[in-house]
Amino acid sequence: MDELETLPISRAQFQKLDIFKNVAFESLAGYLLGCKTITVEPGTLLIDPNQPKRRLLILLDGLLQVVMKSQGGSFSDNILPGHCAGEMSIFDNVKPSAQVFAKEKSTLLVIDAGTALAMLNASHDLCLNFLQLLSSRLRNNNKVVCEEEYHIRCIEENAKADSLTGLHNRRWLEEMYTRELKRSNEGDFHLSAFMLDIDHFKNINDTFGHIAGDQVLIAIAKCITNCLRPSDMPVRYGGEEFTVFLPNTTSENAKIIAERLRSCVEKMQIALSSGEVISVTVSVGFTERQQGDTVESIIKRADDALYYAKESGRNRVCLNLGEDSMFLF
């Protein structure tokens, strides 16, 4: 019997496989004599990190799925005919890092680790093919990692934004206000803080409904953004309350900004989805950073000023300089 007739794959099959592109059939035919082909059913586990068996699997027909699990989740990819699995454990002589399943009924050429290394030593072109394969997979993995990092960043940013108003939320405040206050304390920079509350907001919800209340919150948030500078840091603090950090801002300049904001809201005509148009007002309390302030202490002073403004008739601006020094404007 002709020796070639005992090979697990024919010359025609060999030449169709991407992994053997530009490789002379005769240069590897002797190595293939000790190899075999297998046909497996869908779901068959072919490579398992828990049962390491170093071998190269070349897919002749069908579809394989690679599944890698880690503490951060799982990643999966497909292996198409002409490509292989198991090569990494052969190259670096460690157990496989991923599971490989037959996704469809599949036919594979099975090459043991020793034979695979001998074939690589015998064929320069085969080495180049493996390098191209590994380079392609590395490039694809880098793309997946970059896309995953992008999605993670998007999720993190969304988790720090108020879904209704688009302003930052308390979670963002804890991180960024702490950072900004530390910078201001260390450099002895001016920093002012606002607390702002919509006057009689409960009456709006009771009279026009919560959807109308949401529309008012959105309008106020837009007004806040329009009245502030790009460097200012507005946050929806909760309910109808908002807070703002104003870096490099003295209390004198903060007063001008607070009054501009109060006046902007007072002049607004908010069209509700019901067709009605309403007006609202806000009260603003503000203060300037003092040496040794924490985020909690500076917001507390601004909140005390807000309370004083509301107790003094609402639609007012109040400055708190500490030690019960309140000034209404």
Q: What are the catalytic residues? A: 240
Q: Counting beta carbons within 10 angstroms of the beta carbon of residue 320, is it exposed (0 to 12), middle (13 to 18) or buried (19 or more)? A: buried
Residue the block writes with tokens 């807000």: 306
DSSP 50: T
Signed CA dihedral, 45, 48, 54, 58: sign only: positive
Q: Work out the angle at residue 50's Cα, subtended by the Cα atoms of residues 45 and 55, and round it to the nearest 5 degrees.
A: 60
- Are 191 and 180 a contacting pair, CB within 8 Å? yes
Beta bridge partners of 191: 247
Tokens at residue 230, please? 């790009």
- What is the C-alpha to C-alpha distance for residues 175 and 243, in angstroms, rounded to an integer? 14
